[in-house]
Chain A
Amino acid sequence: MADIPVRPPAGLPALAPGWTEHSAPSGHVYYYNKETKKSTYVRPIVEIHGLQQQHAAPRPPAPQAPFGANPNIGHVNHVASNNQLNPNFQPPNFRFGGPAQEPFQNAPQHSNPRGDHRGGHRGGFNNFQDRRRQPEDKPKHRSDIPNCAPWVLVKTKLGRRFVWNKDTNESFWKFPPHVMKAVMDFDHKEREKKERREHGQPSDEEDTAMAEVEADLAAVEEEMEKQIVRVDGEVGMDDDSEYEEVEVTDDEGEEANKPPKRQRTEEPTEDQAMEMGEDDIAWQLAQMEAMEEGDFDEEDEEEGLPLTEEDCKALFKELLDDTRISPYVPWDKVLENDGLYEDERYKALPTMKARKDCFDEWARERIHYLKEQKANQQTLDPRIPYLALLHKYATPKLYWPEFRRKYKREMKDSKVTDKVKEQLYRDHIKRLGLKQPELRSDLSNLLKAQPLALLNGSTTLETLPPSILTDLRFISLPASTRDSLVGAYISTLPPAPEGAFASAEEEAEVIRKRAERGRRERALAERERRVQEDRRKQERDLAYGMGRLREEEAEIERAMKFGKDGLKGQLGS
């Protein structure tokens, strides 16, 4: 797309000898021949006659072809008649309401007649309204055909394709046989690539991605185009019957046999550049850009991961999980949390009510889960809190009955029976009398005895396995020395082995959850990007609209300045 020149290219074809270029008071560029005393808006080119009479091959919108002035306008009719005879003929389907020098019955069937009349007077002051509404074909994407060096496959906006030889500057709707083969190969590859992409492989280069989607896009556009065409037709051209046959096909073979109605009627769009000021060019650029970006947008939509309502809810719940909000707080309190609004996932749900409902749901689930966990923990190890208590308070100075009386309140909810309690206490006191190095070696023995699945590099002091916590050897040392010892030992351990999960099912579950989450987050990011694109597009549209407005104003101003005499002078010459 970047190939399409948007301003009059620097390298316009050389003027035919005897012609000079001038600009009219209106700003139009015209050409004057001193010898014949003729002037024309159409750029006279040296070999134009020979080329058109024999070949009748108006240039296709070859990427580097100049669009500034269209030398073919006057000859489009010849082209039409010659077309059937000449298989090499390359119909350019590029429209624009340039100087309407063609007879009116041949005027674009699906172009607004008004536009053409106007074009006649104003020499290409095509207004953008028309241009926008009317279907227009122009080269959109070009790709080199592999193994077929100078040939380039060009796709037009309407989804048609032609080949163009870079070296000879020839182009054909009908692919020459050797090119045809290469093109087929190329298509095949493209299709494969597309399929792969559909299977979720992200494309790294946007360019190829664009090329692939282009075809689909073009198909859609074509449909729309047809409809527009139909509507326009009713506005009233005289050749309605013919009109119905106007059809946009992608078929290269048929194209040549058909009376190419479109080519007659359509001229390159790029005329704007011819007689417009800088600002026009600026917004034209914007337009082009918008078009380009538009493709990206649509591509995104096609590509975008679906974000269902469930996903949105899950996203919001994940956000709540991540912010570590207590499920016991009321909703108003949750909203005071600033981190909530900054997160992308906050916007996953559209309304505040939905968010509140989601929060309620999440809180219910979470509370349930917490309750379960608590119950689990208590059933698991009644001895753990008791041993912790012993570790904290037990001294050799107290006998068991004294200790029990003193810490009655702390031991009240302990589920451990008195007998076990006493036994543990006595053992513990006995161990406290031992020497430090002995206790240390005991502790390290205990730690070494743990399987790697339970105790590994990812364990922390808070998540030690119950087999350690319920062991007397663990509480024999004072907390400070013990914790540093355990911490040092843990840091030497390798990370958790892969099969550390209790069962394969659990592991699969965890993996599945992680994948789900990743997918949802990607989808959200995708959606966010689309929204951004939309916003940008809207802004651009606005800018474009402003540009148009300015242009119209300028046009009016010019029209005011441009007196009748000047016009007469122009026409008379």
Chain B
Amino acid sequence: MPPMRTAAGRNKKPPPEGFEDIEDTLLEFQNKMKDAENASHDGKKKHEMIWPIFQITHQRSKYIYDMYYEKEAISKTLYDWLLKNGYADAMLIAKWKKQGYEKLCCVRCIQTNETNFRSTCICRVPKKTLNESQDIQCVNCGCRGCSSGD
């Protein structure tokens, strides 16, 4: 995930109109992300450390996706600007538009090339095909199941 570009840096150009409406929420996400980055790693597994990062990215992307596609609250220019500045993950949003991927947790979980048997992550398996009382949490992003049927 590329770091978010903020207005404080080299980019002095103010954000497009309508940004102030969602600014507070985005700031909150930003703070959460900072907390997650600075959280201590005591007693955590190596991969567990990055789960909150993925989760917050997912939430923020979902929020922007909702604002643009579901609620139509932000303009196309603002949406593009947000994507360009890394507020949302464009690749993830692209997947959400596909049938069957509506709830996809992260793009890594559908990378078949990265797995031993050319398969997707366990979190992509529908709950009903899993065994009863099988509690899963995927290694990539800590997802507990993101198949669209669930």
Contacts and interface: CB of A to CB of B under 8 A. Distances in A.
A238 B131 CA distance: 60
B71 A367 contact: yes
Given A328-B22, A328-B25, A333-B25, A364 B70 contact: yes
A332 B72 CA distance: 19
A363 interface: yes
Contacts of B150: none
Contacts of A364: 70-73
B66 interface: yes
Given A330-B59, A330-B63, A360 B25 contact: no
A363 B66 CA distance: 11
Contacts of A333: 25, 28
Interface in A343-400: 360, 363-364, 367-368
Contacts of A326: 21, 24
B63 A360 contact: no
For chain A, what secondary structure do more than half of its interface residues adopt (helix, strand, loop), or is it mixed? helix
B72 A330 contact: no
A328 B73 contact: yes
A324 to B, nearest CB: 14
A360 B73 contact: no
- Most A CB contacts (10 A, CB to CB) among B24, B62, B67, B73 go to B73
B66 A330 contact: yes
Query: Is the interface on chain B under 10, 10 to 19, 20 to 34, or 35 or more residues?
Result: 10 to 19
Contacts of A233: none
A434 interface: no
Contacts of B28: 333
B67 A328 contact: yes
Contacts, number: 33
B59 A363 contact: no
Contacts of A368: 72
B71 A330 contact: no
A288 B66 CA distance: 57
Contacts of A328: 21-22, 24-25, 67, 73
A458 to B, nearest CB: 29
A368 B71 CA distance: 9
Nearest to B18: A371
Interface string B19-33: 001101100100000
A333 B22 CA distance: 13
A61 interface: no
Contacts of B71: 327, 360, 363-364, 367
28 contacts: A326-B24, A327-B71, A327-B73, A328-B21, A328-B22, A328-B24, A328-B25, A328-B67, A329-B25, A330-B25, A330-B59, A330-B63, A330-B66, A332-B59, A333-B25, A333-B28, A360-B66, A360-B70, A363-B71, A363-B73, A364-B70, A364-B71, A364-B72, A364-B73, A367-B71, A367-B72, A367-B73, A368-B72
Interface of B: 21-22, 24-25, 28, 59, 62-63, 66-67, 70-73
Interface of A: 326-330, 332-333, 360, 363-364, 367-368
